Amino acid sequence: MILLVGQITLLSINSIRNQEPILGLRLENQTISKLYGNNSEQVRALILAYETKNFTVKTADKTHVANLRQLGVKTDIEQLKMRLLSVGRSKNELSILTDQDLALIGRRTVFIGQPNFNNGLAKAYVATLDASVDIAPIDALFAYENQKTVIHPDHLGRVIDVNAAVETLHHVNPTLNTQVILPIKHPLATITASLLTPLLSQVQAIAQKPLTIEAGSGKTTLSSEQLVNLVVPKVVPDIKDAHKMVAQVSFDEAKLNAIVDGVVKQVVVAPTPTIMNGRQVIQQGKSGLQVEDTHTLEHVLTALIQRQTGVATPDVAQIPLVAVNPPVVQQFVASPQTHTGTGLIRLTFDDGPGAHTEQVLDILSKYNVHATFYAIGRNVQRYPATMQRIVREGHQIGNHSFSHTDLANLSRVGVVQELVSTQQAIQAACGVTPTAFRPPYGSLNQTVREVASSMGMSTDLWSVDPRDWAQPGSSVITQRVLGADRAGAVVILHVLYQQTVDALPAIIEGIRAQGYSLV
């Protein structure tokens, strides 16, 4: 009977206090008897203490200190008051009695929680932690150690799982949680040791002995270690199973180009002109020496691929040279003859992207000139950022085959493979599908024309060739362009040589000085 009277009395008192919390109710383990007046300040103080109470955030081997204010938590005091008033009043009678009894003996507590948690601020906070925790995965690679080719294993990366971390922080109660551990992910390396293992024998064959690169009397010898360092594994879908990835051997063509250029520069000599006055020889000229074709790198790559595939094990990669007869210059001619007139001239660049393409783009941007870049598919895969810049700066892109082979010597299937794979590489790199095609070496037959046409591409050649690939000197390249251009001319240049870069400003200025326009 006494218990019943007590319960009725407690219900009555709490009913009269309907604008105050039930007797004994606690907020964050402190008794709250009133919500207004001085006790309202008590609630505000408890909220402030709760939101600014520090707790430890652990991420991998790092420890940080945080509070809820940093995560954007800001409690609405009026909503909290409504929650306090609802305790012991808003459920069925048994629940009301239970809540009021527990509150009276100090066992009913309301926790502030995080009703206004800010996901955006929490993500920003996690991002600042991520910068100190993040470790990029390390790809496996080939190395030459102790006279043999080995594979350095890949290593997992480390990064905070941002979404899971934000969810963890969302449920932090600093009154109860003194330490929070944020979840970590371990990204896989792109190139793993298991992917490289099938290639080990190929790389061992490439590096089994040094390779000498020769151009006439110029030479350099690449050690086994240097050869291994030139190998760049490339991960591609398996042709038998598109869902499976496999690795292929490729080579760092930028490094190889620099090595080949160094060999060629040892021996390439510009011819000295024979100076004439009428029919009288004033000074006898001397022959020069230059590389035979535009693709000096191909000779080295061929030797490396022969070793890789076991076709042969060449010791030397020979770059052929040809003599250049001295030009004849009449003494009274002050400067090379150039054309003048009006009309449009187009600049085109073959064989990129490559080591010097960015310099070419810098010069074109400076002079506000647009050009067409006929790109090689395998180079596109090496320089996707350069391809994106070409598009971004308003230049046109053409298809120049995937491997710069003589397409006229291929079957129809071979031509299709060369052009399609290049279209795909360019689309993947910069989102453009070329509608123009330039055959390597200008080599054409009916099959090549038909395949290009069936793919919606025009076949583009050129009318002015300064033979910059032979590296005759930047001034000679400039003179050859300015001495041959005329309205409607299409100038072919290459992005693989510094001499072309050096000649380009004078070519642009010279064309404009003659009265012609550039795109």
Q: Which residues are tagged catalytic?
A: 350, 494
Handedness of CA 385, 386, 387, 393 (dihedral sign): positive
Cα-atom radius of gyration of the chain, to the nearest Å?
Answer: 38
Q: Which residues of 375-411 are buried (b: 16+ CB within 10 A; e: fewer)?
A: bbbbbbbbbeebbebbbeeebbbbbbbbebbebbebe
Q: 508 Cβ partners below 8 Å, 6+ apart?
A: 347, 363, 367, 369, 518
**Is residue 291 within 8 Å of 218, Cβ to Cβ?**
no
**Is residue 222 within 8 Å of 213, Cβ to Cβ?**
yes
**Is residue 133 within 8 Å of 160, Cβ to Cβ?**
yes
Q: Which residues of 117-150 are buried (b: 16+ CB within 10 A; e: fewer)?
A: bbeeebbebbeebbeebeeebebbbbebeeeebe
Cα distance between residue 147 and residue 164, in whole Å: 47
> Distance between alpha carbon 472 and the CA centroid of its chain, in Å?
35
The phi, psi pair for 430, rounded to 5°, reads -140, 10
Closest CA to 386 of 428, 436, 429, 350: 429
Cα distance between residue 338 and residue 481, in whole Å: 9
Q: 279 Cβ partners below 8 Å, 6+ apart?
A: none
Strand, helix or coil at 50?
helix
What does the H/E/C string look like for 212-266? EEEECCEEEEECHHHHHHHEEEEEEECCCCCCCEEEEEEECHHHHHHHHHHHHHH
Q: Please give the full DSSP string across 387-404, using - where no structure is assigned.
A: HHHHHHTT-EEEE--SS-
**Is residue 380 within 8 Å of 425, Cβ to Cβ?**
yes
CB-count burial class (<10 Å; 0-12, 13-18, 19+) for 467: middle
Closest CA to 460 of 374, 342, 335, 339: 374
The phi, psi pair for 417, rounded to 5°, reads -60, -45
**Is residue 6 within 8 Å of 14, Cβ to Cβ?**
no
Residues in the chain: 519
Cα distance between residue 249 and residue 232, in whole Å: 6
The CA–CA distances, whole Å, from 205 to 113, 277, 297, 313 equal 66, 60, 20, 8
